[in-house]
Amino acid sequence: MAEEEEIVGEVEALQAVYGDDCLLLQTYPPSFHLHIKPRTADDSSQQFVEAIIGIQAGSKYPDEPPAIRIIDSKGLDEQRQKQLISCISERASELSSCLMLVALCEEAVERLSSMNHPDGECPLCLYPLVAEDSGSSEPFMKLMSCFHCFHCECIIRWWNWLELLKESDAPTASGSASSSGSIRDQDEESRRKCPVCRKSFLAKDIEHVLDFVKTQHAVTSSRSEVNNEDKILSSVSEKLRRAKFDAILKLQQEKGGLIEIKKHEVLRPGIYLPQPAALPSTASTEEAKEQQDKDLAANSRTNSSGSTNKPNTSRARNSSTKKHQGHNSRKQVAQSSRKQVTQWVKKENSNAT
């Protein structure tokens, strides 16, 4: 009898520790569901798995370990589910004849934390979410309702595709459909379903990624333009063209027919050409002329290559700090997006309550 009291005490302790995460089904013999999350200091953006496990003790508890099973889980493939259960069960048999419920729950959280990484490949492109040599992997996102993860680019490509379909369907729908209202709503709803499990998700999940991709895109597009530029600049025809241009420039300068662009000329509101450090104000001495020649040659080079470059400089500059975050380390990306994510979560919660 004393033992039953002890067990009831243990259950009370359990409820004190886990609060709302513990759903008590029966006090004696104890049976409960426990909602476990990996230890991420309540940062939901770092959370890729979660589970509800059922622990059910028999009348011979604690001499006989309780039965443990998974009630529900997110982000865990079958293999990891099995592994989780077998780890907890193993711990249970180790602790046989001791009161072990809290210890088991701790073990569960511990194990789950060690499994807290996104699963395998992006379901849309089938390439790994996290590359083995983690440096080169693409940013990815997670749907909060099911924890399915996708590369940001992939999910946005899919989303834009659906937008496109919606637009192209719109005229025919209004022409032919009589009950278009309900159909439209249905469309809207079916659009917002996870491609993997078809569970509905919140529009915010996508909006957040759209914002992220926009800033990313500015970076990558300016990057790829630079790459293209390099290619163009190193091509033979471009070299010839430049040589010819330089010759004409020199000739013009010698004949005094060159109208010099003012160095501080405004290209766009707020953007100035950087002023060369040693800019001669007068071209009287031979030395200064030489210097000017060099400047002009340099200038002409930047001008010839700059036509595609310049309009982008502001964007590139704005996002250059983001670029570092985006490409050097994944963690920083997650951190920069952390605030927003936690914000929604809070909103979600406040909506729910």
* Crossing angle of helices 2-18 and 101-114, rounded to 10°: 30
Query: What's the closest the beta carbon of residue 229 comes to another protein, in angstroms?
Result: 21
31-36 vs 22-26, strand pairing mode? antiparallel
Contact set with another protein (CB under 8 A): 123-127, 157-158, 161, 195-196, 198
Token duo for residue 345: 């979560």
Question: Are the C-beta atoms of residues 276 and 294 closer than 8 Å to each other?
Answer: no
Select 227 or 329, whichever has its Cβ closest to another protein. 227
Q: Which is nearer to another protein, 1 or 126 (CB)?
A: 126
The CB-of-193 to another protein minimum distance in angstroms stands at 8
φ, ψ at 155 (rounded to 5°): -70, -35
Are 70 and 84 spatial neighbours (Cβ–Cβ below 8 Å)?
Answer: yes
Q: Give the residue ranges of DSSP H helices in the chain.
A: 2-18, 78-94, 101-114, 152-176, 180-191, 203-234, 236-254, 286-328, 330-352
- Taking the least distance from each CB to another protein, the nearer of 195 and 276 is 195
Our CB check for another protein shows the closer of 28 and 127 to be 127
Min dist CB 8 to another protein, Å, is: 47
* CB 230 to another protein: min, Å: 21
Residue 210 CB, nearest approach to another protein (Å): 17
Q: Which is nearer to another protein, 195 or 311 (CB)?
A: 195
**Distance between CA 87 and CA 110 in Å, rounded?**
10
Residue 22 or residue 154: which is nearer to another protein going by CB? 154
Is the CB of 35 or the CB of 157 nearer to another protein?
157
Determine contact, residues 109/47, Cβ cutoff 8 Å.
no
Give yes or no for a contact between 206 and 310, defined as CB atoms under 8 angstroms apart. no
> What tokens were used for 318?
């704005």
Closest approach of Cβ 153 to another protein, in Å? 10
Identify the CA nearest to 291 among candidates 305, 279, 301, 309: 279
Minimum distance of another protein from residue 126's CB (angstroms): 4
CA distance 229 to 223: 10
